[in-house]
Amino acid sequence: MSGKETKKNDLRSRYTRQVLSESLVSLIQEKPFEKVTVKELCEKAAVNRATFYTYYSDIHDLMGQLWEDMKDYICRHVKSMNTGDAEQHREAMVDYLRYMRENEQLYFLLVGENGPNGFREQTWLATKEVYLGRGSGDKIADLKKELLLANTTYGITAMIEHWMIKGMPLSDQDLADLIIGIMFPEKYKEDR
């Protein structure tokens, strides 16, 4: 296969996966995930069943891939926030908020009643691993650190979700400034 044919096949493959993903997100907005069938997904995506099975073993496989992709992005974001100064954190947060804006429907499906359970818990566990590691062995000190991290993590998550529910009226940059102001109150001034 020539380079052009490979590139064309890669583009076609990405397009097919994207159409299937978007169609699944759309269907889950109409009914619970467990009630979506491969047949109706393929009809919505205008893809035949054989093509679907080329990429996924079943609907759960597709949803699992969507979940993993978003979780991987969030984990990469959390890791990028573990180093640097307030301005670097702000830029990373702006990128994260842009991603959330672009993937709003998928996020709400993953955390909502029609999506798989445990998405927030998985995100928390990833955040905890990045920031706390295995702990120091001092149970009281480790618990205090974990409680402070939980407060910050769940608080910021709630802020972002509330922003999304309200239709994202603040720009990504404005919300990032609010969040970074919470994370770095002494270093980051409100007058940006």
What digits encode the pLDDT tens for the residues 61-112? 998 888 888 888 887 887 777 666 778 888 888 998 999 898 888 887 777 6
Q: How far apart are CA 42 and CA 37, in angstroms?
A: 9
Query: Going by C-beta distance under 8 Å and a sequence separation of 6 or more, which residues neighbour residue 32?
Result: 113, 114
> What is the predicted pLDDT for the residue at 192?
47
Question: Which of the following CATH numbers is that of domain 1-56: 1.10.10, 3.10.180, 1.10.132, 2.60.40?
Answer: 1.10.10
> What is the predicted pLDDT for the residue at 4?
47
> What is the predicted pLDDT for the residue at 94?
92
Q: How far apart are CA 107 and CA 133, in angstroms?
A: 26
What digits encode the pLDDT tens for the residues 161-190? 899 989 999 999 999 999 988 887 766 554
What digits encode the pLDDT tens for the residues 42-55? 999 999 999 999 99
The yes-or-no verdict on residue 191 having pLDDT over 50 is: no
> What is the predicted pLDDT for the residue at 183?
80
DSSP type of residue 65: H
> What is the predicted pLDDT for the residue at 20?
95
Q: Quote the pTM value.
A: 0.74
> What is the predicted pLDDT for the residue at 187?
60
CB 122 within 8 A of CB 73: no
> What is the predicted pLDDT for the residue at 28?
85
**Buried-state track 92-113, b at ≥16 Cβ within 10 A, e below 16:** bbbebbebbeebeebbbbbbee
Q: Which amino acid is at 65?
A: Q
At 133, give phi and psi (nearest 5°): 60, -140
Domain residue spans of the chain: 1-56, 62-192
